Amino acid sequence: MTAKIRRDIIDTMRRLAARGLYTGTSGNISVRGGAGFFVTPTGIPFDETKPSDIVAMTLDGKTRGRLRPSSEWHFHRDILRARPEVNAVIHTHSPFATAMSCLRRDIPPFHYMVAKAGGDTIRCARYATFGTGALSRNALAALKQRKACLLANHGMIAVGADLGAARRLAEEVEDLCGQYWRALLAGKPVILPRREMAAVIRKFKTYGHQPAKPGRKKGR
Ligand SMILES: [Zn+2]
């Protein structure tokens, strides 16, 4: 099981990199498991990271093994500790989300897919130095009732019940930031009203769920 988590983290890094969301040593991933969680190591480029390099940590911040964890392990640990429904956390410096984070403003409901992050905005967390407890506190506040946020002048965080869900949301947030960027260049985007976003959020609760067929295994 823990060997699979390590392999899945590497696979996710590569898939995010293939879409341009993950470059060099920027970005990090954690997954709940073992005695706490597994997190990508600091300072090793994603394309040189091996499953055995993934660092096992406890929720009180102790590591096992020879490698040091990502410098952002604080917010990974704090999110996993505060949000029992979350089992995977992805942080990237992906181009559009990072550019939008430098404007230090929330992504408004310019498109209904903003609701994929759990509400009618994707918040931008207040700025704090990378790797600090202050950044972790700001990220947790921005993630309240949300599954994604921007980090001011830094990047984004996406979380999920599993690694696949967190990866798909990170890709969605990056796409949304790209779309918002283009809409801002072209003019003044029309913002969807709160009532419409509430309807979308209700619809998303059942959207994409196939009816159960006899003989079909329950989807993961
Ligand atoms: Zn970062």
Task: Determine the distance separating the centroid of ligand 1 and the alpha carbon of 197, expressed in angstroms.
Answer: 30
- Tens digit of each residue's pLDDT (9 = 90 or more) over 135-147: 999 999 999 999 9
| The model's pTM | 0.93
Q: Which two tokens stand for residue 43?
A: 């300072």
Read off the tokens for 60. 């009180």
Distance from the alpha carbon of residue 28 to the mean position of ligand 1, in angstroms: 7
Hey, how many other C-beta atoms are within 10 angstroms of the C-beta on 37? 25
Q: For residue 24, give the DSSP letter.
A: T
Measure 215 CA to ligand 1 centroid, in angstroms.
44
CA-wise closest residue to 168 among 16, 46, 52: 16
d(CA 193, ligand 1 centre) in Å: 32
Catalytic residue among 48, 72, 171, 172: 72
Is 72 catalytic? The answer is yes
Tens of pLDDT, residue by residue over 80-126, are 999 999 999 999 999 999 999 999 999 999 999 999 999 999 999 99
For tokens 């060099």, name the residue.
24
How many angstroms separate the CA atoms of 43 and 85, rounded? 29
d(CA 202, CA 60): 37
- Profile the chain (220 residues) by mean pLDDT over runs of 10 residues: 94 95 89 95 92 95 90 97 98 97 97 97 98 97 98 98 98 98 98 97 83 57
